[in-house]
Amino acid sequence: MSATKYIFVTGGVASSLGKGIISSTLGKLLQARGFNITIQKFDPYINIDPGTLNPYEHGECYVTDDGKETDLDLGHYERFTGIRTTAYSNYTTGRIYQSVIDKERRGDYLGKTIQVIPHITDEIKRSMLFQGKRTHFDFVITEIGGTVGDIESQPFLEAIRQLKWELGKDALCVHLTYVPYLSAAGELKTKPTQHSVKELQSLGIQPDILVLRTEHELSSSLRRKVANFCNVAPTAVFQSKDQPTIYEVPLRMQEQGLDAEILRQFGMPIGETPGLGPWRSFLERRHKATEEVKIALVGKYDLQDAYKSILESLSQAGTYNDRKVRTCFVNSEKLTPENIGSALEGIDGIIICPGFGQRGTEGKIVAAQFAREHDIPTFGICLGMQMMVIEFARHVLGYEDANSVEMNPSTKHNVIDLMESQKNVTNMGGTMRLGGYPCRLSEGSKVREIYAQEEIRERHRHRYEFNSEYLSAYEKAGMRCTGINPDTGLVEIVEIPTLQWYIGTQFHPEYSSTVLKPHPLFLSFIAAAITYKASQQ
Ligand code: GLN
C-alpha cells in the first residue's frame, strides 16, 4: 500500500469561485481512476459547526450520516463522488480551539504556554491527517474555506505549509483564483491571480497547480504568462470556465488533464483516461431533457444556497425523468388562503421546505391545505412534514388550535411535540436528533412501493416529532403513518394514500441523493408532477 497523498485546495481573489466543486471534481476524477479518496473541509470561522448558523450566512447546513452538522460543500463531495462524509470531514476554527482548550484543561500540555503556533497549528495538522490515518485512502483532498489573505485562515495555511514540508512528495497545493474580464478594456486580467499567489508564497506555500476561474476562454499564452509569473509548471495551469451546470466541471477538467497533472506531479503512473461513462450518460440525458416541470419551493429563505441539497435532488430526479426542473420560490411568509391559488398557478408539484421557528409556518399550512384539497403532488420535508400534519389536524380532525409546541408551547393539541429526550436540552448546538436512523415502511404503502425496500435509513435534523398519541386518529381519518422507527416507534413518514402524491418525511432525503444514485422519493415525486402536469393540459 502506497502512502496517502494529500491535496490541499485553497482559494484566492474572491470567495464563491467554486472551490467545493473543484475539490469534488478532483475526487471524482481520481476515483474514476480506481483510487480510494475522501474529501474534507476546514472552515476558518469560529462557530463550532454551522448547525447554529442562519442559512443567510453560509447556506444550508448539511448533515452527515453519523450525525454531524456540516458545511454545504460536503453535500457536493457526496453528490459528485458517492462517498459518505463523516464527523471528521469538517472542522472549524472553533472546533480546533475547543479541542485544544479541552486538552489544556485536562493538563495534557504539561504546563506549557498554549499558543497559535505550535498548539493550534498542530491540532489542525492532526485533524487534517486524522481520516487518512484511520482508514487507508490513496488521496485525501482538503479544501480550505475562505480566501487566502484573510486573517482567520492563516493558522490553516501555516498548517499546510508545515505539512507540505513534512509530507514532501506526498502533498501538493491546488490554488483556485479568478481572472476577471474588464469589458471597458476588452481584456482578461491576470494581476489579481499574481497577487493572490504572491500572498500564498509570502506564507511559505508555493502552489503546485493553479485553476483559474473565468467567464471567458483563456488563451494558452495567457496561461503561460500566469505559469511564468507564479513559479508553476506551464502544464499546471488550468481554466475553469463558467458551465451550464456544475456537473460539467469534471469533464472540462479531465479534458485539460487536471487529474493526469496531479498524478504526474506525485510521480505516479498516469495510465488511461477513464471514460466516465455513467457520468456522461447523465449529462447527455440532462441536455436532452428540454420539457419543463415546475416545482414550487414553499419556504422562508429566498436564497438558492438555503435549500441547496433539495434543489440538487430535484434537478437530478428531473434528469432521470427526462425533464428539466424549474423551481420557483414561494415565500411562505406572504401566503394566505386568498393568494395561494395565484401563488401556485401553473405549478406541477410542491415542496414544503424544512425550517425552524414560527416565521412563515402559517403560510406553509395554507399551502399544505391547498395542495391536499386540490390533489397537487406535494412533498413535505421535516418542518414541511410537520406542517402537513398540523394542517390535517386543524381541517380534517377538527382540532382548530393544533400546532407544534415549537410554535405554540401551550397548544392543547400538540400534534408535533418535543421528544422526552429533548426536554432538558439547554445547549442549542449539536443537540437535535441528528444523522441516520432506521425506518420501517408499512406493507402496501406508497413509500414501500417507491423504495422497494422494507427498511431504510435516512438522515435527520430536528428536535420535534409527530406525537404518537394522535396516531390512530390520523390513521382513521386517512393520513397514514407509513414509516416508523423500529427502535423507538417514532413516526418518520406520513402519507395520504387517496391522493396522487402527498408524502411528508420527518427525515431529510435530500442529503443522500447523488448524481449517479438519485433518491427514490425525489424520482417518484417528479414522476408524479409530470403526470399531474399532463392531466392539467
Ligand atoms: N423545526 C423543526 C424541528 O426542530 C423541523 C426542523 C427541520 O425542518 N429541519 O423539529
Show the DSSP H helices in 203-268 as ranges. 220-230, 249-256, 258-265
The total of other beta-carbon atoms located within 10 Å of residue 316's CB is 25
Query: Ligand 1 in contact with 355 (CB < 6 A)?
Result: yes
Query: Ligand 1 in contact with 510 (CB < 6 A)?
Result: no
Least confident of 184-193, 341-350, 465-474: 184-193
- DSSP for 352-372? EPP--SSTTHHHHHHHHHHHH
- CA nearest neighbour of 435 among 3, 86, 81: 86
Position 1 pLDDT exceeds 80: no
Residue 444 has a pLDDT of 96
The rounded distance, in Å, linking the Cα atoms of 508 and 530 is 23
Position 52 pLDDT exceeds 90: no
The rounded distance, in Å, linking the Cα atoms of 404 and 414 is 6
The rounded distance, in Å, linking the Cα atoms of 407 and 362 is 10
Which runs of E-coded beta strand occur in 102-198?
Answer: 139-144, 171-178, 181-182, 187-188
Q: Which atom of ligand 1 is nearest to the CA of 381?
A: 8
Residues 271-292 have pLDDT tens digits of 999 999 999 999 999 999 999 9
237 burial via Cβ count (<10 Å: 0-12, 13-18, 19+): buried
The rounded distance, in Å, linking the Cα atoms of 434 and 51 is 10
Q: Which three cell numbers stand for residue 387?
A: 406542517
Residue 494 has a pLDDT of 98
Position 441 pLDDT exceeds 80: yes
Residue 316 has a pLDDT of 97
Pocket test for ligand 1, best of 332, 406, 425, 507 (most atoms within 8 A of CB): 406
328 CA distance to ligand 1 centroid (A)?
22
397 CA distance to ligand 1 centroid (A)?
23
The rounded distance, in Å, linking the Cα atoms of 316 and 430 is 30
pLDDT band, residue 16 (cuts 50/70/90)? confident
Residues 27-51 have pLDDT tens digits of 999 999 999 999 999 999 999 988 8
Residue 123 has a pLDDT of 98
The rounded distance, in Å, linking the Cα atoms of 9 and 454 is 41
Query: Ligand 1 in contact with 462 (CB < 6 A)?
Result: yes
Residue 430 has a pLDDT of 81
Average pLDDT for 352-377: 96
Position 187 pLDDT exceeds 80: yes
Pocket test for ligand 1, best of 353, 361, 386 (most atoms within 8 A of CB): 386
Query: Ligand 1 in contact with 433 (CB < 6 A)?
Result: no
Position 301 pLDDT exceeds 90: no
**Residue of the nearest CA to atom 1 in ligand 1?**
356
Q: For the chain, what percentages of helix, strand and coil (3-state, to nearest 5) are there?
A: 45, 20, 35
Residue 304 has a pLDDT of 82
Residues 376-429 have pLDDT tens digits of 999 999 999 999 999 999 999 999 999 999 999 999 999 999 987 788 887 888
Mean pLDDT estimate for the chain: 95
Position 15 pLDDT exceeds 90: no
Query: Ligand 1 in contact with 463 (CB < 6 A)?
Result: yes
Position 97 pLDDT exceeds 80: yes
Residue 320 has a pLDDT of 98
